[in-house]
Each structure stands twice: as C-alpha cells, then as structure tokens.
Amino acid sequence: MTGHNFTIPVTVPRLRHTQEKVKLFPSSHWLHTAEKFSLSDFGDKDVELSFVDRKAELAGTLQECRELRRAIKNEQGPQVVDPVPDILIEFPPRPMCDVLVAHYLRVFELIYRVFHIPSFWKEYEQYWTQPPALNKGFSVKLSLVMTIGLTFCEHETADSNIERLRQSSRSWIQAAQWWLTGPSEKSTKNMDGIQISCLLLLARQVTSAGPSPWLSEGSLLHMAMAMGLHRDPKLFRLSPFQAEFRTRLWTTVLELVLHGSMNASIPLLLSSLDFDDRIPQNIEDEAFGPESENLPSPRPITEFTQSSIQIFMRQSLHLRMEAARLMQNLHREQSHDQAIDLATKLQRVCRDVATHCRIHWNQAGTMHPDFLDMQLRRYILVLHRPFMLRVQKEPRFYISQKICLESAMIIASHAERIKLPSTTLDDLSRLMIMSTGTFRGPLTLEIITILSLHVLSQLEDSSGGNAATSASSAGGVCLDPLAEMARAQRAPIMRVLEHIKDQLLQIIKLGHPTLKRYVFLAGVLSQIRAMESGQRVQTAVIKTAQESLKECYEILQSFRPTGVSQDILDGFTFGEGTMGFDFGIQDTDYLDLSSFLLAPV
C-alpha cells in the first residue's frame, strides 16, 4: 500500500422546496443511494419517489395511496380545539391593523428580515378579501407582526383599547406556539414555519412573555438547517427570489441564535464551519419579486436600503461569534490579549455604524443605529467583564475596568431619552420599556451592576475599607479634597443610576411588575449614600429595601383593588441581625440582594 490520500468531492445535497414543505436531503440521506436506481426519478423541486414512465397505471395508484394515507393520518390525529381561529375574533379593525403592521415594518423588519415587504403587503391585502380559514399561516404571522408593532404604538397610558390589544397579544403568542408545535406541526415544515418561529421569538422578547425554555433559538436553528437554509442557494435549482429570500431569512436565524446564546449564557450551537458564508445583497425589496428572472445589481453599502442594516450586522457576525465562543469556552482559561483584540475590533465596528448612519444613512433615523450600538457594545462588556471583576486583586487588568465603564456608560446614556411619566417617547425608549432581556438596554441588571460596582469599589478604595473615614464627624461633610474629586468623578454615574431608578419605578406604575431591578438599585444607591456620609450601611440598606418594597406593593395593589389584606403590607419588616433580602429562594425571578450588596458594618 502506498501513502496516497484519495479524496472525492463533497456530495451535493438535494432540496425539496415547495409551499407545503421544505426539506434538505444531506449527504447521509438514503436518497443519494436511491438515485442510482434506473427506474426511479427524483426531482429537485419535489423529491418524491416517482416512476420514469408517468403514464403508467402504477403512478396513478401510487397517488391514490398517498391521498388515502394522508386521510388516515388526519383521522388518527388528536381531535383537539384549535385556538388559531379564535385569535381572528380578537383582531382590531383594519385601520388599527394597518398602523400596527406599519410600525413593525418600519422598525423591526429592517433589523431582522423576515418578509419580502411587497409580497407581504400583497398577501395582507388578500387576507382582508379572502376567508381567514384559507390563510391560517398568514393569520398567525399577522398576529405576531401586530404584537411586535404594538410595542411602538403611541398611546396614552390609560388607553383601554391599547390595553385590550396587549391582553389579546398574549393569546396570539400562545396560538402561534400551538400552530408550531400542536397537531398540525408537520404542516409547518416550510418557510411559513421559519418565519413564524422567528417572529415568535421576537414577539416574546418585546413583551412580558420573555424567552421560553422549550421554544428556543436552538429549535429554530434545527428547523432552519433541516430545510437547508444554511447551505448556499446556488447548490439548488431555486429562483433568484427564492435564493435571496432564503439568504435573508438564514441571516435572521443566525442573529437570533447568537442573541439567544448570549442571553442564556450557553455555548453557541454552531460555528462558522457549519454553514456556507453568504451575505444578503443590498437591494430594495421593490426592485425584485417572485417573478424576477434576475436580481438587480446591488447598491453600494453607502446607499441605504431595506437590507442595509441586516448586511452591516452580518459583516460583524463572525467577530461576534468568536467573542461568544471565547466567553463561553468551558475548558480554556480566558486570554486577556484575545479579549482586548476582539473588543478593539468591535469598537471599530461601533464607530463604523455611527459613521455610516451619520454620513450615509440619514433616513435610518436614530432608533436603528442606537439599537445596533447597544447590541454591539454588549459583546465588548462581556469580553472585559471577567477581567474587570479581578482588577482589585490584579491591577494589570485596569484597562478592562476602563473599557467596561466606558461601554456601560454609553449604553446607560440611552436611558436619558426615557422621560416617564411623559407619553411622548421614541421607538427605542418604547422598546427598552416594554421588552425583556437585553432589548432593555440601559435598564438591564447587567448595566446597573457594572456601574454600581464601580462606584462601590471606588468608595471602598478611598475609605480603605472603612466607610466612616470617607466623611468627617461634623455632619458628614467631606473635607478631603481627594474625596471631593472622587465624588465629582462618580457624579455622572450617580445621575444616570438615579434616573434609571426613577424610570424603573415609573415602569412599575405602567403595570409592568418587574420589581427586581428597582428594589436592587434602590438598595445599592442607599448603600452608596451611607458610605459617602459615614452612616451604618446595613441599617440604611434595610430601611431602603423595606420602603421600596412597600412602595412597589402599594403600586401593585392599585392594579388589584380586591387583593391581599393590609396585613401583608405591614409585614414588610427586616431584622437587624440579618440582611433579610432573600427575595424568594423558591422564586428565582427575584434577587437575594445580600449576595450583591457590599455591606461593610
């Protein structure tokens, strides 16, 4: 035997791409063996066993068997009530639907491409003229589009119509989940299923529903790869429209999968080697359609189109994936040099986004560049945070502390645009108020904890571990010039944190019972003030937590007039012997503040 290493070309996969079903047949599939049989024929668009002589009587019998099999399977399926038709009853009149759809297309569709916009509008018009039962998939898509669009709808706080729509949107989300995973799940293995899965993940994030442990980005990735979205469309006999549409949709899937990995802090489920590297083209949706024989020439990236934002984010995808893998590697120590290198490249991307939007993309407005900047800076934060947390013991990581503080302050600065209880809010403010997870931007505990810890660490360093030495005995007035300089340096951070706290309370008053962030931040600010004035930290924090909880309870009670008795409200007391801040060992939606607050006696 010689040492020759014989190789063969990679097996080209096959794809079934019909309106009813989309399925990839990879190299390991038995179809590639069956193709060698001379009596069978496997078409690209409909990969089904058929016979070369289609006039043969056997072909007709085979079709009858298929139809009979389908009927039997339908009869054997569970007979349960389908909630999807019920959501149609809750749809608002068309003028309101028009508004909600326009909000979605104006804001989120430009970031996460799910539709070809002219095709969507065409189907939308048909929806109002055809029986809804004939468009169940589109009904589900429309309900999720309106759920997302509702986030950006201007309204007065007491608008009962908007509140009814918000209640309806919760049912729409449940109906969409049913459509994907209920008895009809086999009929969702198509592009409708991918679109609805993307919309469902987004709808849950921009509402109080939050992420689902079972309907996850991992499920979306599995579904998309099973339909071959991760492969280059040039491998298959697809129209130019189908090819570009699949490329856009796959890019959205990648963004959602990466976003989900970062949110859940779990290892990324794919690498750059698992998919063909292709980027959507910078063309307007109106320039091509299902009937197009060729795509128009793409515009330069300096020209803004409906795909420009997605393309710009896609160009940094591999960099962000590398950052995610570095942060989530379970078996290697984290490299500071590598973190600095990746963060520096991401900072350059942030500058490019700002430059493009300021010089070339004026029509993009402020929502999209600010949203993209916040999302990108989150990777910078998480890259440097492990080193920032060690800086007190290892001062060589000071650069990480500096970059973390800068990035957190840039993200936190977007909180200044939120001015509740005013109802005049821009799109990004509404998104931060209504959403869950990292879409909250400066209102996340991620930003709150980084900024708070920086101030507390500075106070600890300046007082040598004794809070009382940071203030004079005469009324707590600081006489040390260095301490005054330090106070002036942290004043911008304190102003931002105070503003965030005020806005979190206003958000609770809007009917969003997210108490964890408000009570935590109130306690931290109380600790900072106590350390600055030389007071007993534990006493001050306990008192603040008690007052904050009572305040929250009274607000929540106003939404439920017949709620629990006043005895519960009077029971919010804390003993001196313990921090008393276990907000539910049984309920992980709350925090044990004692594990976060530095509480020197």
CA distance 464 to 478: 15
Write b or e for each residue in 438-447: b if 16 or more Cβ atoms lie within 10 A of its Cβ, otherwise e: bbbbbbbebb
Residue 318 CB neighbour total at 10 angstroms = 12
Q: How far is CA 573 from the centre of its chain?
A: 38
Q: Position of tokens 């990292």?
A: 438
Average confidence (pLDDT) per 10 residues, the chain, 601 residues: 64 71 68 62 52 57 74 65 70 93 96 97 91 77 96 65 87 90 77 96 91 86 94 93 97 96 87 93 96 94 91 94 90 90 96 85 78 95 94 92 96 95 90 92 95 92 56 50 82 96 94 88 95 90 92 86 46 40 37 43 30
**Burial (CB count <10 Å: 0-12, 13-18, 19+), residue 485:** exposed
- Residue 592 phi, psi (nearest 5): -90, 100
CA distance 404 to 309: 26
Helix 136-150 / helix 191-205 crossing angle, nearest 10 deg:
20
At residue 489, the pLDDT reads 87
Of 33, 28, 35, 34, the C-alpha closest to 13 is 28
CA distance 441 to 522: 19
Question: For the chain, what is the radius of gyration of the CA atoms?
Answer: 28
- Residue 399 phi, psi (nearest 5): -60, -35
Q: How far is CA 440 from CA 392, 394, 432, 506, in A?
A: 29, 32, 4, 15
Question: Cβ contacts of residue 312 below 8 Å, gap of 6+?
Answer: 301, 352, 353, 356, 372
Coil/strand/helix, residue 188: helix
Token pair of 325 as six digits: 């893998």
Helix 515-533 / helix 445-463 crossing angle, nearest 10 deg:
10
Token pair of 585 as six digits: 């060992």
CA distance 499 to 511: 19
Q: How far is CA 70 from CA 50, 67, 75, 77, 227, in A?
A: 17, 5, 9, 11, 22
At residue 48, the pLDDT reads 54
Question: Cβ contacts of residue 429 below 8 Å, gap of 6+?
Answer: 417, 418, 419
**Burial (CB count <10 Å: 0-12, 13-18, 19+), residue 125:** exposed
CA distance 15 to 226: 10
At residue 474, the pLDDT reads 40
Q: How far is CA 54 from the centre of its chain?
A: 49
Model's pTM, two decimal places? 0.84
Distance spanning both ends of the chain, measured CA to CA: 78
Q: How far is CA 514 from the centre of its chain?
A: 18
Q: How far is CA 255 from the centre of its chain?
A: 9
Strand 22-25 to 40-41 pairing: unpaired
Residue 208 CB neighbour total at 10 angstroms = 15
**200 neighbors 176 (Cβ within 8 angstroms):** yes
The letter for the amino acid at 191 is M
The full 3-state SS of 548-599, as one line of letters, equals HHHHHHHHHHHHCCCCCCHHHHHCCCCCCCCCCCECCCCCCCCCEHHHCCCC
CA distance 77 to 71: 10
Of 438, 437, 420, the C-alpha closest to 429 is 420
CA distance 205 to 367: 17
CA distance 384 to 287: 43
At residue 67, the pLDDT reads 76
At residue 469, the pLDDT reads 43
